[in-house]
Amino acid sequence: MKSAASVPEAEQSTRPVELARHDEAALLELLETLVQRHGYVPREFSDEVSRLVAVKLERLRRIQAKLDSTIRRDVQQHVARWRNEEGNLIMILHAIQNQHGYVPREVAMELSRELGVKLARIYEVITFYHYFKLQPPGAHNVTVCNGTACYLKGSTDLLNALRTELGVAEGQTTADRQIHLDTVRCIGCCGMAPAVVIDGKTLGHVKVADVSGHLVALKQSNQEARP
C-alpha cells in the first residue's frame, strides 16, 4: 500500500479550504478519483472528509431540532383548538393539510403522540378520504374528472394521455414536483364533459390532442415565473 507521502505534490495541494467548497457530488467524485489513482484514500483526505461530515451532521441535527420544535408547537396549537370537539381528528388533519398542502409523516407522528391516537388510526383516516394527501403537492394540479358523463365522453383516454406525457399515475407528482395528476368524481360541469381542471380552471370538451398543448402552456408559465 502506498504511503500518504507518495501522493504527488499537485494532489496534496488540494487543501481543506478547497475541499470545503465542494458540494457532496464533487467530493465523492474526488474520493473516487483518489481511490482509482492510489487504491486508497490518503489519510489527510479521509480526515478532512470525516471533519466535513461531522460538521454537516451537526448542522443537520440543529436544523432537525428546530424543525421538531416547530412541528410540536404547531400540532399543539391545532390540538388545543379542537381537543374537545367531536370528530377532532379530521378537523386537525384539515388544518395540517391546509398548512402544508399535505400531511407530512413527522407531523402525523407528532399528532399521534399529542392526541393519544394510534398512528395507524390516523393513516386509516388519511387514506380513507381522497382529500388528504401524503405527498407534497406539485406546483400545478391537473385533475381529470372521471364521473359518469366524463367517462362516457372519453375521460379514460385523457387520463392515459396525461399519464404517458407526465410519466406519473393519478395521485402522483412529477419528479420535479411541478405537476400533480389527479382524478375527481364529477365536478358538476357534466355539460362540458370530458372536463379537466388545471390549477382551479375548468376546461371542457377536452380532446386527447389538446393534452400536450395544455402541458406545454403549464411548463411555459413555470419558465415565465422564474426570475
x/- track of binding to ligand FES for residues 128-157 (CB under 6 A): -----------------x-xxxx-------
Residue 195 binds ligand FES, judged by CB under 6 A: yes
Residue 41 binds ligand FES, judged by CB under 6 A: no
Count of chain residues binding ligand FES (CB under 6 A): 11
**Piece of 22-30, 102-110, 170-178, 189-197 that binds ligand FES (CB under 6 A):** 189-197
Other Cβ atoms less than 10 A from the Cβ of 108: the count is 18
Residue number, 4 or 149, with CB nearest to ligand FES: 149
Residue 197 binds ligand FES, judged by CB under 6 A: no
Contacts with ligand FES, residue ranges (CB under 6 A): 145, 147-150, 186-187, 189-190, 193, 195
